[in-house]
Homo-oligomer: A and B are copies of this chain.
Amino acid sequence: MMCRLTSRAERAQLAMMLEVCAYPKPGNVDRCHDYKDTRFEHFLASTILCRPALEEAERGEGRIGEIIRHAVQQTNCHAGGNTHFGAFILLIPLVYGGDIPGAMKAIAQTDVSDAVAFYRAFALTAVRTYNTDAIDVNDPKALDMLREQEMTLLDVMHHSAKNDMVAREWVTGFPLTRRGTDLLLSFGPGRDTIVRMFLTMLATEPDTFIIKKHGREVAERTLKRARHVLDGGLSLEQFDSECIEQGINPGSTADITIASIYLALGEGWTWES
C-alpha cells in the first residue's frame, strides 16, 4: 500500500493528538476528562489549527519567536484559552531544527526580535502562571526594556529557567524531552506507553506548572503520589481523582510529553500496537 511519509509538522500534530488522547493522565485533560472551560475538543482544535505555524517552522524560513507568536495566534480561535503555549516553545525549535542539535542551533541564533515576538505571543494568551522572571509581560514598558537590554529569546529563557522546566529545556539542551523519548523507546510501541512515560516523568521531576499554581510543597507531594502509583501502592484512577479534586494539573510535564512523542515518532516508535 502506497504511503507518504509524514512531515515534521504532521509528526508534531500527531504528538499533540496522542498526548491529549492518552488516558488516564492524572489531573490533565484527556479522552475521559474535560475541564469546565478547557475541553478535550479545544486541545484537538488547537492541534488542527496550528498547522501553518508548524509548516513555517519546518520550512525554516522565519524566526522562531515570530513562529511561536503565529502558533498562539492560530490557536486563539476558540474559547478554550491557552492549550499548547508550553508545547509550542518546545515543538517549534524542534520542528525548525529537525532534532535536538538542530533545535539548539536555532535557539542560539535567537535575537531581540524573537524575544519581542515571544512577549507579544504571551500577551495573546491567558497564561498568567507562565510568567518569566525577567520582565513582567503585563508591564507596558516590557518591550522597550527587552530592546534596551538587547535580550535574546534565549536570554529570556535563561531568566525563566529556574522556575520553569519548559524554559529550562532551551537552556540545558532538552534533557527531559530526550529522557521522555528514551522512555517511550524502551517501553515499546502502543498508546498506553504514553501514560506510563508521563507518570514516570511526573514521579521524578517536580512539575513547575504545579509549583507556580500551588507551590513547591504540592508539586513535591504530587511527585511522591506518582511514585506511589509506579510502586503499585496507589491506583492510577485514584491518583487522577485526587489531582482533579485538588485542581492539580501537571501542565509542564504534558508539554514535555508532547515534545518527547514528537522525537520518538521520528525515531521509529509507534503508537500503534
Contact = CB atoms under 8 A, between A and B. Distances in A.
Contacts of A40: 21, 31
A272 interface: yes
Interface in A1-33: 1-6, 10, 13-14, 17-18, 21, 31-32
Given A2-B76, A51-B51, 19 more contacts: A1-B76, A2-B73, A2-B124, A3-B73, A3-B76, A3-B77, A4-B74, A4-B77, A6-B49, A17-B44, A18-B41, A31-B32, A31-B40, A39-B191, A41-B191, A41-B271, A44-B44, A79-B272, A80-B272
Interface of A: 1-6, 10, 13-14, 17-18, 21, 31-32, 39-41, 44-45, 47-49, 51, 73-74, 76-80, 124, 191, 271-272
Nearest to A77: B3
Contacts of A74: 4
Contact of A1 (B21, B39, B124): B124
A48 B21 CA distance: 14
A48 B47 contact: yes
15 contacts: A1-B124, A2-B73, A4-B74, A5-B77, A10-B48, A10-B49, A13-B48, A17-B45, A17-B48, A21-B44, A31-B40, A32-B32, A41-B191, A48-B48, A78-B272
Name the residue among A5, A44, A80 with the largest chain B CB count within 10 angstroms.
A44
B21 A41 contact: yes
A214 B186 CA distance: 43
A23 to B, nearest CB: 10
A41 B270 CA distance: 12
A58 to B, nearest CB: 13
Contacts of A76: 1-3
Contacts of A39: 191
Nearest to A44: B17
Contacts of A6: 49, 77
A186 B41 CA distance: 22
Given A2-B76, A31-B40, A77-B3, A14 B45 contact: yes
A3 B18 CA distance: 26
A39 to B, nearest CB: 8
A3 to B, nearest CB: 5
A2 B121 CA distance: 11
A91 to B, nearest CB: 14
A125 to B, nearest CB: 9
Contacts of A78: 272
A57 to B, nearest CB: 16
